[in-house]
């Protein structure tokens, strides 16, 4: 006997776009921490290398700080370039994916919950994963479902489900998978 629960997902262009943009910003948060550190180090190195601080007689060591500050400034520009370049590419891919989903809107997307696994099916692929390799995290109103050892991610919001199906999914995830912090 197959004790599975099938939850249907409804495609909404606006929700899909918001979910994907949220996930992009979410994944880039750690890079912003790195950017903040680089800015702090650059300012510190510039102060030690270029400002004439008489109480800190650094002598030739100030040259190291001068060159170090240029390295950190270069690193800052590299991080900014990577962010904006990746953002442009990702947002173009999001629009392409939404166009593809719009063309296939008649095909049904769903999540099937089994006692030993979870299956997510959309018009482009079907992913089945055992509960041991499934993790989830709730950030704001977004549910991030990580499958196959955090290599495949799905973003869901309550608006994509009908009635109490979102709660059913959350209950299953709480019972069978691991919640990330």
CATH of the domain at 148: 2.30.29
Q: What is the pLDDT of residue 129?
A: 92
87: three-class secondary structure by DSSP: helix
Which stretches of 51-115 are DSSP H helices?
A: 61-103
For residues 6 and 112, is the Cβ–Cβ distance under 8 A? yes
Q: 52 and 28 in one domain?
A: yes
> Same domain for 86 and 27?
yes
Q: Look at the chain and report how many structural domains it folds into.
A: 2
φ/ψ of 144, rounded to 5, equals -100, 115
Q: Are residues 61 and 79 in the same domain?
A: yes
**Tokens (6 digits) for 172:** 């299953």
Q: Is the pLDDT of residue 162 over 90?
A: no
Within this chain, do residues 95 and 123 fall inside the same structural domain, yes or no? no
Q: Phi/psi of residue 137, each to 5°? A: -150, 140
Among the candidates 103, 130, 164, a domain finishes at 103
Give the end of a domain, one of 52, 75, 103: 103
Q: What is the pLDDT of residue 2?
A: 62
What is the C-alpha to C-alpha distance for residues 166 and 154, in angstroms, rounded to an integer?
14
Same domain? 29 vs 42: yes
Q: Which domain holds residue 161?
A: 5-9+107-179
What's the confidence (pLDDT) of residue 87? 95
Q: What is the reported pLDDT for 50?
A: 79
Residues 94, 111 within the same domain: no
Q: DSSP state, 113?
A: E
Is the model's pLDDT at 171 over the cut of 80? yes
Q: Residue 160 and residue 141: Cα distance in Å, rounded? A: 12
On whether the CB atoms of residues 147 and 118 are closer than 8 A, the answer is: yes
Same domain? For 77 and 26 the reply is yes
pLDDT at 24: 94
33-42, 54-63, 106-115: range with lowest mean pLDDT: 54-63
Query: Last residue of a domain, which of 103, 137, 169?
Result: 103
99/33 same-domain check: yes
Is pLDDT at 1 greater than 50 in this prediction?
Answer: no
Domain match, 121 and 160 both: yes
Q: Tokens 């510039």, residue?
A: 46
Q: What mean pLDDT is predicted for residues 56-75?
A: 84
pLDDT per position as a tens digit, 71-126: 999 999 999 999 999 999 999 999 998 888 888 766 778 899 998 999 999 888 88
Q: What is the pTM of this model?
A: 0.79
**Of residues 74, 65, 80, the one with CA closest to residue 35:** 80
pLDDT for the residue 63: 82
Same domain? For 17 and 79 the reply is yes
The residue ranking higher by pLDDT, 76 or 1, is 76
The whole-number pLDDT of residue 137 equals 94
Residues 145 and 170 both lie in one domain: yes
Share of the chain above pLDDT 70, in %: 94
| Judgement on whether residues 112 and 133 belong to the same structural domain of the protein | yes
């Amino acid at each position: 006997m197959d004790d599975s629960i099938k939850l249907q997902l409804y495609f909404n262009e606006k929700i899909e776009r918001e979910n994907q943009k949220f996930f992009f910003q979410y994944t880039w948060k750690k890079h912003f921490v790195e950017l903040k550190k680089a800015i702090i180090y650059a300012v510190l190195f510039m102060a030690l290398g270029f400002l004439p601080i008489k109480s800190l007689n650094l002598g030739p060591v100030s040259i190291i700080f001068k060159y170090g500050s240029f390295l950190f400034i270069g690193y800052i520009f590299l991080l900014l370039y990577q962010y904006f370049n990746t953002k442009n590419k990702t947002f173009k891919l999001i629009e392409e994916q939404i166009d593809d989903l719009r063309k296939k809107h008649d095909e049904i997307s769903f999540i099937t919950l089994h006692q030993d696994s979870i299956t997510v099916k959309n018009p482009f692929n079907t992913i089945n994963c055992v509960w041991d390799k499934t993790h989830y995290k709730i950030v704001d109103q977004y549910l991030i479902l990580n499958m196959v050892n955090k290599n495949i991610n799905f973003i869901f919001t309550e608006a994509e489900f009908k009635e109490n199906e979102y709660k059913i999914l959350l209950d299953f995830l709480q019972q069978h998978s691991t919640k990330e912090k």
